[in-house]
Amino acid sequence: MEPKPWRDRIRDEDRLLEQLNQLASESADRRAEALLEGVAELGTVADVARDRQVSWNAVDKAIKKYQRKKAPTEDASTTE
């Protein structure tokens, strides 16, 4: 059996990378939502960070990145 041509292998790997990037992005969103729930429950980003034994900066950055991603953009069109 002849191996796949290199162009086909590259195309397959590009598709796989695209899928993996999408999965990682969705996972980061779910994690940030959970972190926000933790902040609501414990009171502060620092409390969540302490509970998770990570830096407060890591928690804060994850939440802010998620909030920026979910915030409507100024140039977003409306359906009016």
Rounded to two decimals, what is the model's pTM? 0.78
Rounded to the nearest 5°, which phi and psi values hold at 49? -60, -45
The pLDDT tens digits of the residues spanning 21-46 come to 999 999 999 999 999 999 999 999 99
* Long-range contacts of the stretch 2-7 (C-beta < 8 A, 24+): none
3-state DSSP call for residue 53? coil
Structural domain spans, the chain = 29-71
pLDDT band of residue 5 (cuts 50, 70, 90) is very high
